[in-house]
Amino acid sequence: MMTSLFNDNEEAAPVKAKPKRTRKTVKAAAAPASEAATPAQASFFGGDAQVLSPDQAPARMHELETELERWNYEYYVLDEPSVPDAEYDRAFNELKALEARFPELKSRTSPTLRVGGAVRTGFKKVRHDVPMLSIHTETDFSAAGAAAFDERVRSALGLSPQDPPVEYDCELKFDGLATNLRYEKGVLTEASTRGDGVEGEDVTANVRTIRTIPLRLNGKVPDILEVRGECIMHKADFLALNARQEAAGEKPFANPRNAAAGSLRQLDSSVTAQRTLHFYAYSLGEVSEPFAETQSGVLDRFAELGFPVAHMREVVKGPEALAAFHDKVAAARASLPFEIDGVVYKVNSLELEEELGFIAREPRWACAHKYPPEEVLTQVLGIDVQVGRTGRLTPVARLAPVYVGGVTVFNATLHNEDHVVNDLDLRVGDTVVLRRAGDVIPEILRVVKERRPAGTKVFEMPHVCPICGSAVIRDEEEKDMRCTGGLVCPAQMKLSIVHFAARRAMGIDGLGEKIVDMLVDEGLVKTPADLFGLTLEALTAPTTATAGSEKPEKRMGPKAAANLLASIQASSHTTLARFVFALG
């Protein structure tokens, strides 16, 4: 399936991108001399890293840190900057210079950590003393889903129909990565992913680059406070990131969720710093003293402490009000700056919450109420036939690109001829209903017959392989068709070599589809065995198409070629099981 994920139309969606400021570029050199005498520099210590004495440095560094974090909060959370960017950059550079001079004084909450830094080799594991559990998902998308949840809560609490309605906190269900932020005495000491709920990964350095997450909490806070929420990427940032990925010749991300996950789980935190991530707080983890009496009170306190909390939330009573919130969010969904996959209802009283407890690792006091998968109309532009590794022919509908369920879809598999002709009665030119939910592969549900143009033809599978021209036969169960060309068919040959090299097979690094295409097209490789006879000269020779021309192009660069040869050699020491699996 080919789904490319960025399309120009999507930029027209009602998504407001935050105006980009230059703050991320403060990594650059120290402030120019002309800025050296700005008013803020006339602060008590004069603000010059070079002239400060070691005993003046701690106070000045603390002052800069506090100031920068306040400006950061005003800019990123409140959206109300109080100083010009140049002023921010100057203070930032001054702090950086001081940290370089006095590394032992650098604080764990320094705003300079927000640009990321050292590359790690892996993530440390973190145990969640209060497990990060999942919530029950209501499968009925209608108002009955909300009623069923309310019914379960009432019955668990032993309430009769005469008892008053239960109060709930209604929230958005973010579609990102659940993250735990641990604050000790108000300082962010550790950030971890949910992992399997009991053990996650330490992503502290990456989380510090998220501008809206406070590094230090002001005011009176419990000695230990774990704030849980979701790390997500806004739609506009996702589209911009994919545009950059494509421009750099890199693979676009499938959806904002994958982009957020890929950005948060980066070994190089300076990469995370360049990907605008957001965090929204929604629940408490470990806390050393009572924090609030209600879930809505927890969120209010989070907001007071400077955490971003979604604006769309409501305290309501009874099941009808839950369903009304579900409807209201559905109507607002497209204009939210981020993707959600439903809403969450939580019993508002934390005392009742405790009483309700958990069953099967799911809280009885909360539930997720999702939305039905999105369906859209699009047109079938053509039906291509693809040849798989085992020679199976698969019809694939080429579609007029549409944005559905968070991605732009260009193709949809049609499985086999029988499905096209008998199940769907689909023809080139037809308008079809396409559905895609979450990570699920896009599926053509049905044809809109009323829109069928005149002169369409019933689809027929080719009688010869579209790649090699060999005869095509039907499988025994008569649904699938296969090319009889075997490894003579370049399509099968390529895919079987890709399979041979795969991680779970021979594990030849650097032998991806592109290189295999080249090797087969250049006639260097016809069977997996040929890989072991490749030479540096053959790999770095000019391509057949450009050989002898004025500007010959090399098949591969010398370094990549040498690496490939080394990993082919390394792969030859393998187990029998892997080898047999590699041969398919």
Chain contacts with ligand IVH (rule: CB under 6 A): 133-135, 171-174, 178, 194, 230, 282-283, 344, 363, 366, 368
C-beta of 75 vs 302, nearer to ligand IVH = 302
Instruction: Give the torsion sign (CA, 184, 189, 194, 195).
Output: negative
**Helix and strand tally (H, E) in the chain?**
16, 20
C-beta of 26 vs 260, nearer to ligand IVH = 260
CB of 352 to ligand IVH, least distance (A): 15
CB of 354 to ligand IVH, least distance (A): 13
The one-letter code for the residue type at 548 is: G
What distance in Å separates the CA atoms of residue 500 and residue 445, rounded to the nearest whole number? Answer: 35
**For tokens 């960025």, what's the residue?**
6
* Tokens (6 digits) for 287: 């806390």
C-beta of 212 vs 492, nearer to ligand IVH = 212
What distance in Å separates the CA atoms of residue 132 and residue 126, rounded to the nearest whole number? Answer: 12
DSSP output for 471-522: BEEE-TTSS-EEETTGGGSHHHHHHHHHHHHSTTTT--TT--HHHHHHHHHT
What distance in Å separates the CA atoms of residue 545 and residue 413, rounded to the nearest whole number? Answer: 33
CB of 124 to ligand IVH, least distance (A): 21
What distance in Å separates the CA atoms of residue 105 and residue 415, rounded to the nearest whole number? Answer: 63
C-beta of 250 vs 351, nearer to ligand IVH = 351
C-beta of 134 vs 456, nearer to ligand IVH = 134
The one-letter code for the residue type at 519 is: L
CA-to-CA dists, residue 188 to 192, 204, 218, 225, angstroms: 11, 9, 12, 9
CB of 283 to ligand IVH, least distance (A): 5
C-beta of 174 vs 500, nearer to ligand IVH = 174
Q: Which of 344, 137, 135, 130 is nearest to 228 (CA)?
A: 130
Instruction: Evaluate whether 68 touches 110 at the Cβ level (below 8 Å).
Output: no
Burial of 290 (0-12, 13-18, 19+ CB in 10 A): exposed
* Tokens (6 digits) for 62: 């603390």
Look up 173 and say whether it is catalytic. yes
* Tokens (6 digits) for 47: 């603000």
**Residue of minimal Cβ distance to ligand IVH:** 178
What is the C-alpha end-to-end distance of the chain, expressed in Å?
A: 22
**Most distant pair of Cα atoms in the chain: their distance:** 90
What distance in Å separates the CA atoms of residue 91 and residue 372, rounded to the nearest whole number? Answer: 50
CB of 363 to ligand IVH, least distance (A): 5
Instruction: Evaluate whether 461 touches 395 at the Cβ level (below 8 Å).
Output: yes
C-beta of 300 vs 509, nearer to ligand IVH = 300
C-beta of 173 vs 208, nearer to ligand IVH = 173
The one-letter code for the residue type at 247 is: A
Q: Which 3 state secondary structure label does DSSP give 106?
A: coil
CA-to-CA dists, residue 404 to 45, 155, 434, 519, angstroms: 57, 39, 8, 37
Distance, C-alpha 42 to centroid of its chain = 44
C-beta of 128 vs 499, nearer to ligand IVH = 128
Q: Which of 356, 324, 360 is nearest to 343 (CA)?
A: 324
What distance in Å separates the CA atoms of residue 235 and residue 239, rounded to the nearest whole number? Answer: 6
Beta carbons within 10 angstroms of residue 467's beta carbon: 19
C-beta of 261 vs 564, nearer to ligand IVH = 261
C-beta of 363 vs 528, nearer to ligand IVH = 363
* Tokens (6 digits) for 259: 């982009």
CB of 451 to ligand IVH, least distance (A): 38
* Tokens (6 digits) for 368: 């997720």
Instruction: Evaluate whether 114 touches 209 at the Cβ level (below 8 Å).
Output: yes
Instruction: Evaluate whether 112 touches 92 at the Cβ level (below 8 Å).
Output: yes
Q: Choosing from 18, 27, 173, 554, which is the catalytic residue? A: 173
What distance in Å separates the CA atoms of residue 402 and residue 377, rounded to the nearest whole number? Answer: 8
CB of 441 to ligand IVH, least distance (A): 22
Residues that are catalytic: 173
